[in-house]
Homo-oligomer: A and B are copies of this chain.
């Protein structure tokens, strides 16, 4: 079923829900889901509505304009409109670890993700056979201090060439430059192997072991220029005990990482995420 998804944001005000829902009703929109959220601290109103396109009175390409004219303008709204088709194009960046990659490809294979994966990029050759087995092109672009700038340029060219909509760092162990990041604002999802903000940076399982925590976790977040500090999309945790070695923390943690990352991808694909400052609204 083809649907449209509208997310709006504006100062909280009387009549907004009425205005938006009236707009959809008058144009014969069959609403499938509608969610609101009022951020009392900011005084801001947020709404996500999804409706069937087939019966809708306004042409796909005119919806935004009509909405602006009839509703958006009056309430000084910011809004974004998207559609659940064609399938968005997702690029995967990986290094050597396979658990997140397999989890994503497995869902891709079984049709759980409404997505296309035009390419996988890696700074190592290791995972090429896995990716090839799924019929997906694999680009091996080793990164060193010296060639980082050039390789990122190449990566960006590949993104363009394959018309990539968003990027998933599935345990890609390189830090992207601000320049790369700015090409995909709120469109690069990273999985960090700790419950942020604890254990930012390298080797979080080692740090967790050393600190003697009883719970470890993983965090999927949008990438911003500050390392591991972007808006959090999803987190989960697992219990550990004193006898668990660092290697065991790694294995226990990987099961959390892969599920958390795939949930974040699912929210992103369904346009259920709205970033507000450094926080996310998850319309779920």
Question: What is the interface of chain A, defined by CB distance below 8 A to chain B?
Answer: 14-15, 17-18, 21-22, 24-25, 28-38, 40, 97-99, 102-103, 105-106, 109-110, 112, 130, 133, 195-199, 210-215, 217, 231-237, 239, 241-243, 245, 251, 255, 259, 262, 278-282
Contact = CB atoms under 8 A, between A and B. Distances in A.
A38 B30 contact: no
A255 B245 contact: no
Contacts of A214: 232-235, 282
A217 B235 CA distance: 12
A53 B102 CA distance: 36
A245 B130 contact: no
A106 B110 contact: no
A239 B217 CA distance: 13
B215 A237 contact: yes
A25 B14 contact: yes
B213 A232 contact: yes
Contacts of A211: 196-197, 232, 278-279
Contacts of A36: 34-35
Contact of A106 (B24, B37, B102, B231): B102
Given A232-B213, A235-B213, A14 B28 contact: yes
A278 B50 CA distance: 28
A197 B199 CA distance: 8
Given A98-B106, A102-B106, A212 B278 contact: yes
B232 A212 contact: yes
A147 B118 CA distance: 44
A194 to B, nearest CB: 9
B29 A14 contact: yes
Closest A-B pairs by Cβ, 5 of them: A212-B279, A102-B106, A18-B21, A198-B198, A17-B21
B197 A195 contact: no
Contacts of A199: 197
